């Protein structure tokens, strides 16, 4: 189809000079092109992917990334009947809301209006999917969140993307699903009229969407300038060759073009010193695709477009090879250079021991037993926090995590009992990485409440990068050591800010920050309390890679009106309490309006009222009663593992996660109580309208 109006010329006049031709929906594709092979494999991108038309009337893919359009292209591409694509990058981004769920699209729209106002002009292809262009810093890299339901291959179906360098968006043409033109209800904006927003605002928008959308991932950002040190992604060439050879190339394992490119990026990062060898390894792997053919020329063109900085490298390749083959590459990263930059923490801080020590010293069995009680240090908060350990305090947004963390910190700085438990008084450092204004008001509210002036509570109202080994870790340790006083507690609020753009779900990024948390504790002897967010599935605890939970001594979950220890390595893990937030007026602003903040008040049983058990919840309560009756200690409660075993022998088999969800619901309704060490007992229950004693008595 040849459009009557040349939209290429019109877009050029509006200031968009980086254009690309888009294949029409249903066009005939050359059988010799890799585009044809992708369609045969079920990946039909006609109507959205760039392409050019040949003299025989067939189309093939087009290397738009490496082509900068000229005015001579505009007539030729229009005469082909191509749609119009605009290349993103160099400060131009396109926010793309890709969901067919009206409610989810509405959430994205609300957050867009909250962060960007009403200054954007939307482009609509198929309702309710929509998107809009903006301006930001030229170095901004592509990022996205994924959410919603999963498809047959376990992938999240929907996403919000921010397109940048190396990508394009369709401005004019026929949508392949609706067979109708793309629309700009408010008109196509001129490039010079697009508003500018800082990268931090764009990422904050994605974070806000992630907090509200179902099953949403953390932000995935490709090639971020703040990514890991590139030298740590390299490894021995022969090890990479063996690991790639052991990794199958199937559509099940690498279902999208994005996944195929990600593997190429990792190979290029791992072989950056010998790119020709890396390309050969990548081409060999591409040639082993079990569900089609990869054109070697296309593979090489894609390889050449893969530019540093890279996010993944050798370690990810070794993980995939170990997971999907019968070979073990788990030690390959250690034997290569992957951990070179942080393997020697003493080297980072240039701290030499006073006298040489043997690396390993063994204790006799009896000596170890005799020394068990030699550590007489009191707990930081008796029964809750040990000295020198690590705690993750987590929960959903807007439930009071920071207020609780700051209240705990103040009690230690002032030596006040916390919930009636003894504390050790000492210096506290609070890293308010999410901003100083709100943190200062919370500090003022604490001072007004407790009338405390002379407390060793030091606020650091700025962001820190504790992920990269060459960033803020060493300066922070040096600043703490320069205080000249023992520091008992360091609070980092929040983990996501301390990761400085890293991926919470990446073993590489989380591995770095966990190691650096350990180094921070080792060189300060302080207890580290990290404020973090829970995932979309609250029963699964704090979000992110499991490396964090494995390194944590204590987990404290904050929910609406409740504080509960959910994991403890050395203590009984049974502490919990209710709490309320008390609003305090700190002063008035220039307009005479009150300036307020909040403080925490612990209240036993706050917010808990006896509710009604659903039939499924009643099954769990009955199981608790049955297992308690069979136990030698009927009052000792039952564990989640015992409940899972109980249901596994029945037709209504429930998973570990499902049981945990039911328990949380029952506890919130006041129908179950938590005992020590993660054991539970039932209380009086109500099913239907009648209320009475325990129904199983």
pLDDT grade for 323, boundaries at 50, 70 and 90: confident
Q: Give me the mean pLDDT over the 551-562 stretch.
A: 89
Mean of pLDDT over the chain: 82
Select the more confidently predicted residue: 84 or 378. Answer: 84
Are 614 and 658 in contact by the 8 Å Cβ rule? The answer is: no
Q: Is the pLDDT of residue 689 over 80?
A: no
663 vs 665: CA distance, rounded Å? 5
pLDDT for 49 equals 92
Q: Is the pLDDT of residue 209 over 90?
A: yes
Residue 293 — φ and ψ, nearest 5°? -125, 140
| From 5-19, 179-193, 340-354, 545-559, the region with the lowest mean pLDDT | 340-354
pLDDT for 590 equals 84
Select the more confidently predicted residue: 620 or 85. Answer: 85
| From 353-357, 558-562, 622-626, 646-650, the region with the lowest mean pLDDT | 353-357
Q: Is the pLDDT of residue 345 over 60?
A: no
pLDDT for 171 equals 95
Which spans in 525-652 are helix H? 546-551, 615-630, 640-648
Question: Distance of CA 71 to CAs 5, 82, 186, 646, Å?
Answer: 16, 15, 27, 72
pLDDT grade for 421, boundaries at 50, 70 and 90: very high
User: Tens of pLDDT along 436-453?
Assistant: 678 999 999 999 999 877
Q: Is the pLDDT of residue 334 over 70?
A: no
Are 310 and 230 in contact by the 8 Å Cβ rule? The answer is: yes
Write out the two tokens for 30: 């050359």
pLDDT for 111 equals 92
Q: Is the pLDDT of residue 3 over 60?
A: no
pLDDT grade for 424, boundaries at 50, 70 and 90: very high
Q: Give me the mean pLDDT over the 430-438 stretch.
A: 81
Q: For the packed helices 401-414 and 436-450, what is the interaxial angle rounded to 10 degrees? A: 50
Q: Is the pLDDT of residue 660 over 80?
A: no
Q: Is the pLDDT of residue 652 over 70?
A: no
User: Tens of pLDDT along 497-509?
Assistant: 898 888 888 887 8
CB atoms within 10 A of CB 186: 12
Q: Is the pLDDT of residue 268 over 90?
A: yes
pLDDT grade for 42, boundaries at 50, 70 and 90: confident
Sole residue written with tokens 């063109």: 301
Angle at 308 between CA 337 and CA 154, to 5 degrees: 85
pLDDT for 551 equals 87
What torsion, rounded to 10 degrees, do the Cα atoms 329, 334, 336, 340 define? 150
530 vs 492: CA distance, rounded Å? 5
Sole residue written with tokens 């700025």: 462
Residues composing the chain: 697
247 vs 257: CA distance, rounded Å? 17
Write out the two tokens for 658: 């499902």
Select the more confidently predicted residue: 285 or 307. Answer: 285
> H or E element: which one contains 603?
strand 594-603
Q: Give me the mean pLDDT over the 413-437 stretch.
A: 89
Highest mean pLDDT among 36-45, 261-270, 538-547, 632-641: 261-270
pLDDT grade for 571, boundaries at 50, 70 and 90: low
User: What percent of the chain has pLDDT above 70?
Assistant: 86
Q: Give me the mean pLDDT over the 8-36 stretch.
A: 90
User: What percent of the chain has pLDDT above 90?
Assistant: 37
Sole residue written with tokens 């609003």: 583
91 vs 15: CA distance, rounded Å? 13
Q: Is the pLDDT of residue 102 over 90?
A: yes
pLDDT for 661 equals 76
Q: Is the pLDDT of residue 612 over 80?
A: no
CB atoms within 10 A of CB 66: 8
């Amino acid at each position: 189809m040849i459009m009557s109006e040349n939209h290429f010329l019109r877009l050029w006049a509006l200031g968009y000079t980086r254009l690309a031709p888009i294949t029409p929906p249903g066009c005939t594709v050359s059988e010799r092109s890799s585009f044809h092979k992708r369609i045969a494999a079920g990946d039909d991108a006609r109507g959205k992917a760039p392409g050019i038309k040949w003299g025989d009337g067939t189309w093939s893919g087009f290397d738009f990334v490496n082509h900068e359009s000229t005015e001579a292209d505009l007539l030729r591409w229009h005469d082909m009947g191509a749609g119009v694509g605009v290349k993103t990058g160099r400060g131009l981004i396109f926010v793309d809301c890709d969901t067919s769920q009206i409610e989810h699209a509405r959430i994205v729209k609300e957050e867009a209006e909250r962060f960007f106002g009403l200054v954007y002009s939307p482009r609509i292809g198929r309702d309710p999917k929509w998107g809009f262009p903006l301006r930001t810093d030229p170095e901004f890299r592509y990022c996205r969140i994924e959410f919603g339901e999963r498809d047959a291959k376990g992938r999240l179906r929907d996403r919000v993307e921010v397109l940048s360098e190396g990508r394009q968006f369709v401005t004019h043409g026929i949508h392949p699903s609706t067979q109708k033109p793309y629309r700009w209800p408010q008109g196509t904006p001129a490039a010079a009229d697009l508003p500018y927003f800082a990268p931090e605002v764009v990422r904050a928008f994605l974070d806000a969407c992630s907090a509200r959308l179902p099953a949403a991932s953390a932000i995935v950002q490709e090639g971020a300038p703040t990514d890991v040190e590139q030298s740590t992604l390299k490894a021995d060439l022969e090890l990479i060759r063996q690991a790639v050879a052991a990794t199958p190339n199937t559509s099940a394992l690498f279902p999208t073009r994005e996944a195929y490119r990600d593997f190429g990026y990792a190979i290029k990062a791992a072989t950056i010193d010998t790119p020709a060898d890396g390309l050969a390894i990548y081409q060999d792997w591409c040639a082993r695709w079990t569900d089609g053919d990869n054109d070697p020329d296309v593979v090489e063109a894609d390889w050449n477009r893969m530019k540093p900085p890279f996010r993944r490298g050798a370690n990810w390749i070794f993980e995939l090879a170990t997971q999907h083959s019968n070979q073990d590459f788990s030690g390959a990263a250690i034997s290569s250079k992957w951990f070179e930059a942080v393997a020697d923490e003493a080297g980072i801080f240039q701290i030499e021991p006073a006298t040489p020590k043997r690396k390993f010293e063994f204790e006799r069995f009896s000596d170890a037993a005799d020394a068990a009680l030699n550590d007489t240090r009191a707990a930081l908060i008796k029964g809750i926090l040990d000295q020198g350990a690590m705690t993750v305090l987590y929960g959903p947004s807007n439930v009071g995590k920071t207020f609780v963390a700051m209240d705990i910190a103040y009690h230690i700085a002032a030596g006040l009992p916390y919930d009636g438990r003894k504390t050790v008084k000492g210096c506290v450092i609070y890293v308010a990485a999410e901003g100083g204004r709100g943190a200062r008001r919370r500090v003022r509210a604490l001072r007004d409440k407790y009338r405390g002036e002379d407390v060793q509570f030091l606020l650091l109202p700025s962001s820190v990068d504790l992920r990269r080994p060459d960033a803020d870790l060493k300066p922070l340790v040096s600043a703490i050591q320069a205080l000249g006083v023992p520091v008992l507690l360091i609070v980092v609020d929040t983990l996501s800010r301390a990761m400085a753009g890293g991926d919470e779900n990446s073993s590489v990024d989380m591995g770095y920050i966990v190691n650096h948390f350990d180094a921070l504790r080792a060189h300060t002897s302080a207890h580290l309390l990290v404020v973090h967010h829970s995932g979309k599935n609250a029963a699964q605890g704090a979000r992110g890679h499991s490396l964090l939970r494995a390194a944590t001594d204590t987990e404290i979950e904050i929910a609406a009106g409740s504080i509960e220890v959910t994991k403890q390595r050395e203590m009984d893990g049974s502490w919990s309490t209710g709490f309320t937030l008390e609003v305090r007026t700190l002063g008035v602003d220039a307009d005479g309006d009150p300036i307020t903040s909040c403080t925490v008040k612990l209240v036993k049983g706050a917010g808990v009222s006896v509710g009604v058990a659903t039939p499924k919840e009643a099954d769990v309560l009955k199981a608790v009663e049955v297992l308690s009756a069979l136990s030698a200690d009927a009052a000792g409660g039952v564990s989640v593992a015992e409940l899972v075993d109980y249901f596994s022998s029945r037709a209504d088999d429930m998973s570990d996660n499902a049981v945990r969800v039911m328990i949380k619901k029952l506890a919130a309704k006041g129908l179950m109580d938590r005992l020590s060490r993660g054991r539970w007992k039932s209380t009086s229950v109500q099913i239907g309208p009648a209320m009475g004693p325990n129904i199983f008595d």
